[in-house]
């Protein structure tokens, strides 16, 4: 039996990424489903091993053929070198720069089919900006590195999957950027993702932009009719099982109940808040629609500078992200 190779980027070295990685990869649980390869900094991982008091060896590799499923070792592909004495929990330009370099290397390996999926530990957006990279987050970096125009962020939690029309932009800009074409394309991405995952007839529902989905023009300025409904109708004409727009305040309850397989959210907080209420430790962030067939999953939390370096970070979201990466890997 062949196991997928999952490239795990270390994220911001000043955050909780190194700790959750060593916690998640110690022992046999992950090795029973994949071959993990950390893309990051070996010495930082060794520091995390010391902090977390874990009995595991960090082994640097430059040849992916040497990576194995040995649970006593964590294999790391060294990219650059973080400065010695980097403080946990503090903004660092160098940590931001290296976080970008880890992603860049992971995408290179995925394009070359040397790894089967990319699983990302969290980066810090401010540190990324300090390093000169003008991206709102992972999703936009990955889209740029793969030359992808039509992509979306998807979140998964127990009994709830959410895909977004817009993500890291202000609310006013988000609403203005929603178009019938964008609505159609994201519904199409949702359908294709679910269908590839084995859903025979996926049920998709779209949130309204305004309270009560506009309530027939009572709220807003006709955004649902102008920006959402034409895209929904086009998808329906192609045989996609999509409904809406529905009021967001009740739609997520219906989805968790099982009425729908995926919800299309109009903007960042509309989609993120319900998933995070279900528990940060269970949430997984997925970038959908990347070119070259790049599969990317991520933890659904940030760098947590307030607890970094204290051995209290929870690795369950990373374990869930690895599981999802394995499920979405080419079979």
* Arithmetic mean of pLDDT over the chain: 93
Strand, coil or helix: what is 59? strand
- Residues 72-99: what's their mean pLDDT? 96
Residues of the chain with CATH 3.40.718.10: 1-147+290-331, 159-277
What pLDDT does 167 receive? Answer: 87
At 272, which helix (H) or strand (E)?
A: helix 268-277
As beta bridge partners, residue 306 has: none
- Residues 271-293: what's their mean pLDDT? 85
Cα–Cα distance for residue pair 5/142, rounded to 1 Å: 19
Residue 251 has pLDDT above 90, yes or no: yes
Cα–Cα distance for residue pair 180/201, rounded to 1 Å: 23
Q: Which CATH superfamily is domain 159-277 in?
A: Isopropylmalate Dehydrogenase (3.40.718.10)
Of 258, 263, 259, 261, nearest to 245 by C-alpha is 263
Residue 94 has pLDDT above 80, yes or no: yes
What percent of the chain lies above the pLDDT cut of 70?
Answer: 98
> Does pTM top 0.85 for this prediction?
no
User: 88 to each of 96, 238, 302, 317, how far by Cα in Å?
Assistant: 13, 51, 14, 20
Domain spanning 1-147+290-331, CATH class: alpha beta
User: 280 to each of 8, 254, 313, how far by Cα in Å?
Assistant: 19, 21, 12
Half-sphere CA count of 69, side-chain side, radius 13 A: 13
Instruction: Give yes or no for a contact between 127 and 111, defined as CB atoms under 8 angstroms apart.
Output: no
Residues 6+ apart with CB under 8 A from 308: 14, 15, 16, 19, 88, 89
């Amino acid at each position: 039996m062949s196991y997928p190779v999952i490239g795990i980027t270390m994220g911001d070295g000043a955050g909780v990424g190194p700790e959750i990685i060593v916690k998640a990869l110690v022992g046999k649980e992950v090795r029973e489903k994949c071959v993990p390869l950390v893309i990051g900094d070996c010495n930082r991982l060794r520091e995390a091993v010391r902090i977390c008091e874990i009995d595991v060896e960090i082994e640097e590799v430059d040849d992916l053929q040497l990576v194995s499923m040995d649970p006593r070792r964590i294999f790391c592909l060294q990219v650059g070198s973080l400065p010695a004495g980097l403080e946990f929990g503090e903004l660092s330009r160098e940590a931001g720069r290296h976080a970008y370099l880890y992603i860049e290397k992971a995408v290179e390996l995925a394009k070359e089919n040397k790894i089967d999926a990319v699983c990302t530990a969290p980066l810090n957006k401010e540190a990324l900006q300090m390093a000169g990279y003008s991206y709102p987050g992972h999703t936009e970096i990955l889209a740029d590195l793969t030359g992808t125009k039509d992509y979306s962020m998807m979140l998964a939690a127990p009994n709830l999957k959410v895909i977004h029309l817009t993500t890291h932009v202000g609310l006013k800009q988000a609403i203005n950027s929603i178009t019938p074409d964008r609505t159609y394309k994201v519904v199409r991405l949702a359908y294709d993702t679910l269908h590839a995952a084995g859903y025979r007839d996926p049920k998709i529902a779209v949130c309204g932009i305004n309270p009560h989905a506009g309530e027939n023009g009572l709220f807003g300025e006709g955004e649902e009719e102008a920006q959402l409904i034409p895209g929904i109708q086009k998808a329906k004409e192609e045989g996609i099982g999509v409904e809406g727009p529905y009021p967001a305040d009740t739609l997520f309850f219906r989805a968790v109940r099982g009425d729908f397989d995926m919800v299309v959210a109009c903007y960042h907080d509309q989609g993120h808040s319900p998933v995070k209420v279900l528990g940060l430790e269970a949430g997984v962030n997925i970038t959908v629609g990347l070119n070259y067939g790049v599969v990317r999953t991520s933890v659904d939390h940030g760098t947590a500078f307030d607890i970094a370096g204290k051995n209290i970070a929870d690795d369950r979201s990373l374990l869930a992200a690895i599981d999802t990466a394995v499920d979405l890997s080419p079979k």
